[in-house]
Structure 1
Amino acid sequence: MSIVGQLAASFGAPGLLVGFMIWAKQVDRADRRTEVGDRLDHDKARLEADKSMASSLAALTAVIQQLGR
């Protein structure tokens, strides 16, 4: 017997409602976990890009300072 059938047989309509609410909460948590993981990946990529830009800016600064001498 499926979980839906067990809930309906044991608890009736209120059991189905509670079961649905629990299921919806779990789906929401899974979506949130995926969203947080995507955000972390984006932040890591942004950090690497910022490091690269800072390195390039430092090199450009050094070159510009050498031009004045």
Structure 2
Amino acid sequence: MSKYDALWMYFHDRTEPQIKLSFAKIKKIAGIELDHSFLSYKRELLRYGYTVSKISLKNQYVIFNRIE
């Protein structure tokens, strides 16, 4: 079980080609704040058909792209 499972489940039924989530929205979905470990855990997202394409620390958002 991953600490980001709630976030990954958010992507389970999604079909959008790109999803942009603010850090605040991710905290609301996942119940935890993003931290440095997200860089390691993001590989788990591949199982749900998405990948992380950009993380903006300055503007506090993450862009996820659907895998074709």
Q: TM-score range by the shorter chain?
A: under 0.3
Scaled by the length of structure 2, the TM-score of the pair is: 0.18
Scaled by the length of structure 1, the TM-score of the pair is: 0.18
Q: Larger Cα Rg: Structure 1 or Structure 2?
A: 1
Name the structure with the higher strand share: 2
Higher relative contact order (CA 8 A, sep 6+): 2
